[in-house]
């Protein structure tokens, strides 16, 4: 199981440039494999620390993805920094940065589920989290079904 967080600060989202394979050099959310005996919440907080040296609080589950072709389930949270935004590259990241929506490096995202989670966050913003988003049905234009109209080219 993979756990991760869309860490939000003042309308920006925290992304990490991967230092490890697969997809070294591409951007991702702070996320990784759950360790034995770890809760999903503790795992998400640990991954944010390991990859981005960020101490975070979790708002709740944003999305659940079932990626059957690789036998993986992903639990993505929405979260915030504990206190002022503080982060730095951990050993598995080349760089970390906060991005506004229009500046997200869409062509350099590591995995489709990163894009899915970002669109799920965009759909709810800072509002209440309802039922978690699930696997999207990709549109032929590449737009996520939760994406606001007119953003299909910003992939």
Q: How far, in Å, CA of 105 to CA of 148, rounded? A: 18
Per-residue tokens: 69: 């072709």
Q: Is the pLDDT of residue 120 over 50?
A: yes
> Which element (helix H / strand E) includes 7?
strand 2-9
pLDDT for position 144: 45
pLDDT for position 137: 73
Nearest to 6 by CA among 90, 83, 62: 62
pLDDT for position 154: 37
For residues 111-134, give the mean pLDDT.
94
**Domain 2-124 annotated CATH 3.90.79.10:** yes
pLDDT tier for residue 138 given thresholds of 50, 70 and 90? low
For residues 138-155, give the mean pLDDT.
45
The residues facing 155 across adjacent strands are none
Q: How far, in Å, CA of 38 to CA of 25, rounded? A: 28
- The reply to whether the predicted model has a pTM over 0.75 is yes
Higher pLDDT, 151 or 32: 32
3-state secondary structure 129-141: CCCCECCCCCCCC
């Amino acid at each position: 199981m993979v756990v991760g967080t869309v860490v939000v600060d003042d309308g920006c989202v925290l992304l990490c440039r991967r230092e490890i394979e697969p997809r070294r050099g591409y951007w991702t959310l702070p996320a990784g494999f759950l360790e034995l005996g770890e809760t999903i919440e503790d795992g998400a907080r640990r991954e944010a620390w390991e990859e981005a040296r960020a101490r975070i609080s979790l708002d709740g589950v944003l999305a659940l993805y079932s990626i059957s072709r690789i036998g993986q389930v992903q639990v993505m949270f929405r979260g915030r920094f504990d206190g002022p935004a503080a982060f730095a590259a951990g050993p598995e990241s080349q760089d970390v940065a906060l991005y506004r929506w229009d500046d997200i490096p869409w062509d350099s995202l590591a995995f489709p589920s990163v894009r899915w989670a970002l669109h799920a966050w965009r759909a709810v913003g800072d509002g209440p989290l309802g039922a978690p988003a699930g696997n999207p049905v990709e549109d032929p234009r590449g737009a996520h079904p939760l994406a606001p109209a007119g953003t299909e080219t910003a992939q």
